[in-house]
Amino acid sequence: MTETTKPLAIALENCAKTFADGTKALEPLDMTINAGETIVFLGPSGCGKTTTLRIIAGLETPDTGGKVLFDGIDVTHLPIEQRNVGMVFQSYALFPNMTVAENIGYGLKIRRTPEAQIRARVAEMLAMMRIEKLADRRIDQLSGGQRQRVALARAIAVRPRALLLDEPLTALDAKLRDTLRLEIDSLLRSLQITAIYVTHDQAEAMALGDRIVVMDHGRVAQVGKPRDIYQRPATRFVAEFIGTMNRLSGVVRDGVFACRAGELAWDTAHGNATEVLFRPEDIRIAESQEASGLQGTVAAAFFLGDRTRLFVDVGEAQPLVIESTARRDFSHGETVRLAIDPRGLLVL
Amino acid sequence: MKNRWLFFLQLGFTLLVCAFLIVPVILSILAGLTVNYLVGLESGLTLRWVMEVWNGYRSTIFLSIGISLACLALTLVIGIPAAYVLAKRQTALTRAIEELLVMPVAVPGLATALALIVSYGGLPGFRTSWLFILVGHVLFTLPFMVRSVLAVLSAIDLQTLEEGAASLGATFWQRFFHVVLPNCRTGILAGSLMVVTLSMGEFNMTWLLHTPLTKTLPVGLADAYASLRLEIGSAYTLVFFLMIMPLLLALQAFAKPRTPKFVAEETE
Ligand SMILES: Nc1ncnc2c1ncn2[C@@H]1O[C@H](COP(=O)(O)OP(=O)(O)OP(=O)(O)O)[C@@H](O)[C@H]1O
Ligand SMILES: [Mg+2]
């Protein structure tokens, strides 16, 4: 790869956004994005992901008092065309009046790059995205996946200082989404470019992000590595938005957590709690000779091949979800004894 | 076979409608070429009337072409930016402007013409200039340009396209000329076709706005029909026809939209 531009470090200081109609899309936000990392903004619809991305891109300005810094330099009032950031839109935003090659070369043409160099770079991009055959097609002659590749190629062709992607895969079907997710992942790693990726799909976020920023109602709920976010969620919102969470409510007394399903050994370091949370992989069906203080009845069992997904009723509003690898069948209404890995217990 | 009958019925009907539209044109053309229309074709064919029209009314033809092209230029320069602003800013004000623009079409041409004469008729030199007619034509045709460009602009995601171009470094003017204009090409061409045809054939307003020195083609045609022989009026129509057809055909050829090809999703 012939990327020579140094990756960019981005900082947001006190960036809030209130739209003209009074919508408060973003509460004051501070954030540092390290040079070369891939950071994913994840959150439910309307939580302000796109707004944050657009502030970084220069398509929106933060409310007064907010600052955007590129490598320490204040760019808050620099318009997008002077920021040199590549952007990939959910709707692709490819120019229908140009061919694939012209689309990819457009940014270079604007920069008055010599014709021969444009041709070479466009060819390089086409090869990188494996769309050489499409060079002379018009945009309305491309499929969704092909359009997405052209959009990526167009954004990268100018060697931007950072790449911003707003839900680039949402418009594609599930299978294509998986293929392109892998492609984008290896692309971002080989380019070593600072990338900011917006999505509401947690699997996409986990797969792509060096770090994930979970957002909720215009606020940052948690920032961290995918594993931290999953295993040590900071708030109930994060715990429940990402992956599946089981929940038991009860009280702590005499060194045990007592709930409707029975008792659970309690580490006093957790302090007091009226509710414990844990992931499906931290609970299993107890062996026959194993001591266990918890039990429930099987409400539903789905054999998935490599494992069985069980829904076990323990007298709570929601049944527990258990992924069992036991080589046996489970029948509806069967009583099962449960064992929880104490390392997986969360108190929030 | 029932289908066959249906086919011939449809064919017959289509031919009948065509005949209804085309026969008067042919008769009119023939009338312009006959020595004496009352006697009929046996009086012989002649180019005399055509020459008479050419010598007497040449100036009206050139004036009409000139006015319609000037009108096209002005509506392009005013109409495209206007449509662009209307498409980008959806506020109460822009919607009001959009409605106001249609007024000259809704109000009878005579009323618009009178209003123009009352307001500007006193300006020396202006009243007697062809520019006076041009102003009326621009007022009348502008909404057609704005509307057809606006229709195309509203159908494309203009904002995202422009943001895409901006992210690649394009300034406002580069975005306008590289992305906005080419993508409303079909609207511009359709609008141009309307403007040229309407301006060329406009009579109501022009009849009040014209002076003996600024007679346009339709006004001259009305003159010819009213005061001269039918043959001359018909020859006039023929000349008009020959002048305007190539222009319209050329515009029409440009305005033809591309047909997108369907491409199946490709999964590797
Ligand atoms: N131009 C605007 N004017 C007014 N309100 C806006 C505007 N753009 C966004 N909003 C509002 O700001 C909030 C955050 O929007 P944003 O587009 O950032 O959400 P998002 O997290 O990207 O959601 P999604 O996943 O649906 O794209 C929403 O409540 C939205 O309605
Ligand atoms: Mg969004």
Residue B73 has pLDDT above 90, yes or no: yes
B260 has a pLDDT exceeding 60: no
Residue A271: CB atoms within 10 A of its CB come to 9
Looking at residue B265, what is its pLDDT?
44
Burial status of residue B203 (CB atoms within 10 A of its CB: 0-12, 13-18, 19 or more): middle
Please, which residues 136-165 of chain A have a Cβ atom closer than 8 Å to chain B?
138, 140-146, 154-155, 158
CB A42 within 8 A of CB A215: yes
CB contact under 8 Å between A94 and B182, yes or no, is: no
Ligand 1 contacts CB of residue A22 (under 6 A): no
Helix B217-227 vs helix B230-255: angle between axes, to the nearest 10 degrees?
160
Per-residue pLDDT tens over the stretch A65-89 = 999 999 999 999 999 999 999 999 9
By mean pLDDT, which of A44-58, A175-189, B103-117 is the weakest?
Answer: B103-117
| CATH superfamily, region B23-253 | MetI-like (1.10.3720.10)
> Per-residue pLDDT averaged across B187-192, rounded?
90
Average pLDDT (A191-210) is 92
* Contact by Cβ (8 Å): A321, A309: yes
CA-closest candidate to residue B79, choices B19, B152, B179, B22: B152
Asked if A133 reaches chain B (Cβ–Cβ under 8 Å), the answer is no
| Residue B126 CA, distance from chain mean position | 24
Which among A41, A50, A216, A217 is the best mutation to test ligand 1's pocket, defined by most ligand atoms within 8 Å of the CB? Answer: A50
- Encode B56-79: b = buried (16+ Cβ within 10 Å), e = exposed: ebeebbebbbebbebbbebbbeeb
Neighbours of A217 (CB within 10 A): 15
Tell me the CA distances in angstroms from A326 to A126, A236, A278, A284, A322, one per residue in order: 49, 31, 20, 9, 11
Residues of B in contact with A158 (CB under 8 A): 168-169
Cβ distance of B160 and A93 shorter than 8 Å:
yes
- Decide if A5 touches B, using CB distance below 8 A: no
State pLDDT tens for residues A5-55. Answer: 688 999 999 999 999 999 999 999 999 999 999 999 999 999 999 999 999
Site to substitute for ligand 1 among A15, A41, A47, A56, most atoms within 8 A of C-beta: A47
Q: How far is B143 from chain A (nearest CA, A)?
A: 26
Neighbours of B262 (CB within 10 A): 8
d(CA A301, CA A307): 10
Choice from A17, A21, A23 to test ligand 1 binding pocket (greatest atom count within 8 A of CB): A23
Our CA-based measurement puts residue B86 at a distance from the nearest CA of chain A, in whole angstroms, of 19
Considering A110-119, A254-263, B81-90, B127-136, the range whose residues carry the highest mean pLDDT is A110-119
Question: Rounded CA gap, A300 and A122, in Å?
Answer: 55
Give the residue extent of every domain in chain B.
23-253
Contact B112, B205 (CB under 8 A): yes
Q: Please give the Cα distance from A11 to A67 (Å, whole number).
A: 8
SS3 A135: coil
The pLDDT, as a whole number, for residue B263 is: 46
Q: Are A144 and B202 in contact, with CB atoms under 8 Å apart?
A: no
- Find the helix or strand (DSSP H, E) in which A55 lies: helix A49-57
Q: Where are the alpha helices (DSSP H) in chain B?
A: 2-33, 48-88, 92-101, 103-106, 109-120, 130-155, 158-167, 172-175, 181-183, 185-201, 204-209, 217-227, 230-255
Q: What is the model's pLDDT at position A172? A: 83
Q: Are A39 and A33 in contact (CB under 8 A)?
A: yes
From the CB of A268, is ligand 1 less than 6 Å away? no
Q: Is B166 on the interface with A (CB under 8 A)?
A: yes
Close Cβ partners of A81 (under 8 Å, ≥ 6 residues apart): B166, B167, B168, B169, B170, B171
Residues in chain B: 268
User: In this complex, do B156 and A96 lie within 8 Å of one another by their Cβ atoms?
Assistant: yes
pLDDT at A295: 87
pTM (two decimals): 0.81
- Are the C-beta atoms of A75 and A273 separated by less than 8 Å? no
The answer to which of B18-22, B84-88, B107-111, B146-150 has the lowest mean pLDDT is B107-111
For residue A23, how far is its CA from the centre of ligand 1 (angstroms)? 9
pLDDT at A215 over 50: yes
Say if residues A212 and A223 touch (Cβ distance below 8 Å). yes
CB burial string A88-109: b at 16+ within 10 A, e below: bbbebbbbebbbbbbbbbbbbb
Q: Which stretches of chain A are assigned E, i.e. beta strand?
A: 10-18, 24-33, 38-42, 67-70, 73-74, 85-88, 162-166, 194-199, 211-216, 219-224, 246-253, 256-259, 262-265, 275-278, 283-285, 294-303, 308-313, 320-324, 335-340
Domains of chain A in start order, with CATH, are 10-241 (3.40.50.300), 246-344 (2.40.50.140)
